[in-house]
Amino acid sequence: MRSAIYIGLLSIIHFGCLSVRPTQRITFTAPDAFPEGIAYDKAADVYYVSSARMGTIGKVTPSGVYTVLHSDTSLKSTYGMKIHPDGKRLFVCASDANYSKYTSPDTRNKMMRLISIDLATGNKVADINLANLYEGKHFANDLVFDDKGNLYLTDSYSNAIIKVDAAGRPSVFSKSPLFKSEGIGLNGLVYHPGGFLLVNSTGKGTLYKVDINNGQNVQPVKSSMYFIGADGMLLNDQNTLTILVNGGNDKVMKLSTEDNWASVKLSGTTLIVDRFTYPATATFKGDEIWVMNANFHQLNDSTAFHTRNFAIQKAVIKPVPKKFSE
């Protein structure tokens, strides 16, 4: 039986977790920011974080000091981000998906930009408009680089993957009928050195394998469960993947494959005691996985209090008994 109910069952697998403390957090104050994207900079030893509410790009020290790296209200909202392989630039998805304090009718569900920021100065060095590539609603959500410096970006409203080559030229990479979904669709993605992308769908809870040399060669990855609310992903190694799930489930899970990503099994999960609050994206700090708690449940509730404090949280993934992974 393929069911999102399995995710709920996982929360009680480790019955001894009540005596375990939540995992380590870096708490920082950034009023009304609601960071969604995160990227760790090893050279500077800081975390860069985006802002769905303000569009601001900030940085957070391991001790929890938040400062602004780049501010521009025309960005509306910023989401997924990655540091370029050269280590000098931060690439960020910018859109107006109606979370922004600065949302407006001319940009809402229409704007889709890719910007890059010079990490030494905080200045914007590139701003690529992607909204004119095709008609429809747009939501630039997450991005990843391949081994040749090409960038791939998900449009969660039109369910497309956009490619921006190393020279900054954008094109439609993949717009398969298999991606079709209502609401937020394609979201997190990773590049696999075997020559393909793995991308998830938030609304459908499915995972797809996309040939890097042919974007129309899309294969659904078989699984015994759905990952409804799937968001950011990280590739741990050739055969394991970290996937974040939110919107009620609020878990960080490890998926494993034995057939080159034709299918996956659940092999690990975080504990319910860790209390992630809408985990959106994650970043590696060495071998550690650190998660941005986006607190989007407050943005989705017009009566909710908007917190001033946010937390980057360490994910400790525990093995899942075999009977739950099949």
Whole-number pLDDT of residue 248: 85
What is d(CA 79, CA 77) in angstroms, rounded to the nearest whole number?
7
Is the per-residue pLDDT at 41 higher than 50? yes
Q: How far is CA 322 from the centre of its chain?
A: 27
Is the per-residue pLDDT at 9 higher than 70? no
Q: How many CA atoms are closer than 13 Å to the CA of 264, on its beta-carbon side?
A: 27
3-state SS class at 14: coil
pTM check: above 0.85: yes
> Residue 174 class from Cβ within 10 Å (0-12 exposed, 13-18 middle, 19+ buried)?
buried
For the chain, domains (ranges, CATH) are: 5-325 (2.120.10.30)
What mean pLDDT value characterizes the chain? 93
Whole-number pLDDT of residue 217: 98
Whole-number pLDDT of residue 324: 57
Segment among 95-99, 102-106, 206-210, 319-323 with least mean pLDDT: 319-323
Strand ranges in 85-195 using DSSP code E only, listed in sequence order: 89-95, 112-118, 124-129, 140-145, 151-155, 160-164, 170-174, 186-192
Give the pLDDT confidence of 217-244 residue by residue, as tens digits: 999 999 999 999 999 999 999 999 999 9
What is d(CA 11, CA 272) in angstroms, rounded to the nearest whole number?
5
What's the whole-number mean pLDDT along residues 242-263? 96
